[in-house]
Chains A and B, each alone.
Chain A
Amino acid sequence: MSTATNKVVDERLFEVGELTRVEGEGSLRLRVRDGEVVEARLGIFETPRYFEQLVVGRTPDEVIDMVARICGICPVAYQMSAVHAFEDLFGIHVDPSARALRRLFYCGEWIESHALHIYLLHAPDFLGYPSAIHMAADHRPLVEQALRMKKAGNQLVTILGGRPIHPVSVRVGGWSHAPRVAELRDHRPALEEGLAFAQETVKIVAGFTMPAFAREPRFVSLRHAAEYPFSDGRIVSSDGIDLAPSAWRDAFQEIQVEGSNALHARSLDGKGPYLVGPAARVALAGDQLHPLAKEALAASGYAKVIRTNIYASIVARAVELVHAFAEAIDIIDAYRRPSETLVPWQSRPGVAAWATEAPRGLLFHRYEVDEAGRIKSAQIVPPTSQNQAAIEADLVVAAKEVLEMPHEAATIRLEQMIRSYDPCISCATHFLDLTIEED
């Protein structure tokens, strides 16, 4: 780097060409010149797959199968946002028991995804290993228990949907198949064991050394008056946004940002970046957590810290694991097979829109449906697109913390920070949009 002046420029570049232990392909670039951050970027170079175009001309039920393939880690979330959007437009009310099964389905995915992220992707950062595989050499029982916990979530999705990745049974109007009471009861012991280990997990991750960090973001999540948010509630923010789950576009939009490969989501009020995901949910809907999860959060001593220290999102994720296990057990105990697994429905033209809470945060879908019941256009806004601006804002804050560190340690620390968001780049990528760098 040279400049036209004779002034000595102190420039440091922290760069990771391909981020590891994240879903999909992304890069990290932080450039600091004379102590000032001149560039902070989470780059996304994953190949676009054009999902919004692929679904055009297809039926709502086909869309449910197709959008699952946006993400192998959170296919249930994609199916849930889509199915709720269509059911809202078509005026369908599913059987209460079918609704409970949808919550149970989401519990399974949250367990699988959170357990994967906490132990296989994020914990190695805190314990100083390049991977969970390396970590297992010193902490084998811990990794084995983590895998059993993850399996309990995957099995739950399998009981309901046939397989853990791209399950098949969610249909507009309910389910193509509902499990027998005994099938779910048989899984209860695995969930009880998982619950105990999830409670232990909160203690374990609360015991990790958290890097210093302080920035209170704007939080955005669903909030429901009577339950912890999965697929229902209102879109709320920590500064007063309050919208129907179909009305995301009333307060937010996607915009192109110079130098980024993905569209960023921003609020229309111009107040800047916002955060979605476990920390946002715990901050905005923590009063609706299961009593056991509330207890675990209080005992962790992290209730306040997770609002300002992004590294501590691992604690929020662990608290949500407790919630997901505890609620799954409650749902199974109260389960009766739906009287109507699949309610009959009629398509109607219009806009189908809905937001649900993917493991990584708010996931908004919007489809225009034509007279023939086919998709005319689609918009899908995944959590990582919404978090991207917040990630870059936090990179600026983190830069101050890492400047004194040796280069390699600093780079690892920045990667750890990005993993705190659990970014899902495969999800974000169907918005991939290369823009010209002005610098």
Chain B
Amino acid sequence: MASNAPVTARPRVGVVKFASCDGCQLTLLDLEDELLAVVDHFEIVDFPEATSSRSPGPYDVLFVEGSVSEPAHLERIVELRKQTRHLVTIGACATAGGIQALRNWADHDAFRAAVYTNPEWVHSLARSTPIAEHVTVDAELRGCPIDPGQLVELLTALTTGRRPQLRDEAVCMECKRRGVVCVMVSKGISCLGQVTQTGCGAICPRFGRGCYGCFGPREQANAAGLTRHLQMAGDRPREEVGRLFAGFTAYSEPFRSMVTELGGTRTGRTGGGSDVAATTGGKP
């Protein structure tokens, strides 16, 4: 966090969206047991999905959902940053570019032309990028969607001015804590658990599936090592391993390099199209 000082008595909170499915801001409304207590502690000054009562910044806390995905977003996020004390990105779109960042490996013009009869009228950027590629972010909640428990923890930390306690370890640790039998060892299912940050509660392994990386790579994730293992010991074709990484957090390193190296998206083309975001990005 930029500052750990507690925010003011009843902090002014905004919730805004960029390119996204609305699921992460919905998580706030899904805090059924806590919602009314949350609004006792925070003044919701802007949250268009939930209220018609709107006021502009400044914000003590601004939750930002969605990725930077069209030209207008570039200015908007910079403007919002200026008005905000604590900018918190929520979810895989805001923190990693989201599933729509798969287009970063494709030919954007071809994408537009395939979906739209008049592609020239569609204002989208060649790349979908995380908020932190454009402005300084004070805290992030990962996940596709975010975890309600982590959201409550962050809100609580904000009211008391302490650092939020968010685990930074692999999903594997969560499986061990919960006594979930490893799906990779016992069933031979491909799983990103060892390279993915925990936070979801190891939902996929608990439900008989391999982790597909909603919370993105954990720090120092050895994605290349997992790739070698899946290809050699697991006998997985190269492109199948690529598709495993080409999910909701594909544009976060080191997943990004794996996708670029192995393919897995439709065209398999390497990423980093040139557009306005690429040339004016950075942290003002």
A interface with B by C-beta (< 8 Å): 18-25, 46-50, 52-54, 56-59, 62, 65-66, 69-73, 75, 116, 120-121, 124, 130-134, 136, 140, 143-144, 147-148, 150-151, 154, 161-166, 168-169, 171, 176-177, 256, 415, 426, 430-436
A71 and B22 contacting across the interface, CB-CB below 8 Å: yes
Residues in A neighbouring B248, C-beta threshold 8 A: 69
B39:A133 contact, CB within 8 angstroms = yes
Q: Are A162 and B52 in contact (CB under 8 A)?
A: no
Q: Contacts A23-B22, A132-B50 given; indicate if A165 touches B208 (C-beta within 8 A).
A: no
Question: Are the C-beta atoms of B116 and A53 separated by less than 8 Å?
Answer: no
Answer whether residue B23 sits at the interface, using C-beta atoms and an 8 A cutoff. Answer: yes
Given A20-B52, A21-B50, A53-B266, verify A162-B206 contact (CB < 8 Å): yes
- Asked if residues B19 and A49 are in contact (CB atoms below 8 Å), the reply is yes
A to B contact number (C-beta, < 8 Å): 181
B30 and A162 form a contact (CB under 8 A): no
Partner of A20, one of B49, B114, B212: B49
Report the contact-size class of chain B (Cβ under 8 Å from the partner).
35 or more
B50→A168 contact, CB < 8 A? no
Within 8 Å by CB of A47, from B117, B121, B124, B265, lies B124
Query: Is B99's CB within 8 Å of the partner chain A?
Result: yes
B32 interface residue (CB < 8 Å to A): yes
A168–B111 touching, CB < 8 Å? no
Cβ–Cβ contact A72 & B145, under 8 A: yes
Which of the segments B3-11, B56-64, B100-108, B227-235 contacts the partner chain?
B100-108
Q: What is the distance, in angstroms, from B210's C-beta to the closest C-beta of chain A?
A: 10
Report how far A24 CA is from B39 CA in the complex, Å. 22
Are A18 and B266 in contact, with the CB atoms below 8 A?
no
B21–A72 CB distance below 8 A? yes
Q: Point out the residues of chain A lying under 8 angstroms from B20, CB to CB.
A: 72, 426
B269: Cβ under 8 A from any A Cβ: no
Q: Is the CB of A164 within 8 A of B21?
A: no
Chain B residues, CB < 8 A from A431 = 115
Tell me the complex Cα distance, A41–B50, Å.
22
B243 at the interface (CB under 8 A from A): yes
Q: A72-B23, A144-B36 are in contact. Are A162 and B207 (CB under 8 A)?
A: yes
> Can you report 7 residue pairs joining A to B where beta carbons are below 8 Å apart?
A52-B115, A53-B111, A65-B212, A69-B98, A71-B23, A133-B51, A151-B33
* Residue among A53, A59, A73 making CB contact with B22, cutoff 8 Å: A73
Question: Known contacts A75-B23, A434-B118: does B102 contact A131 (CB below 8 Å)?
Answer: no
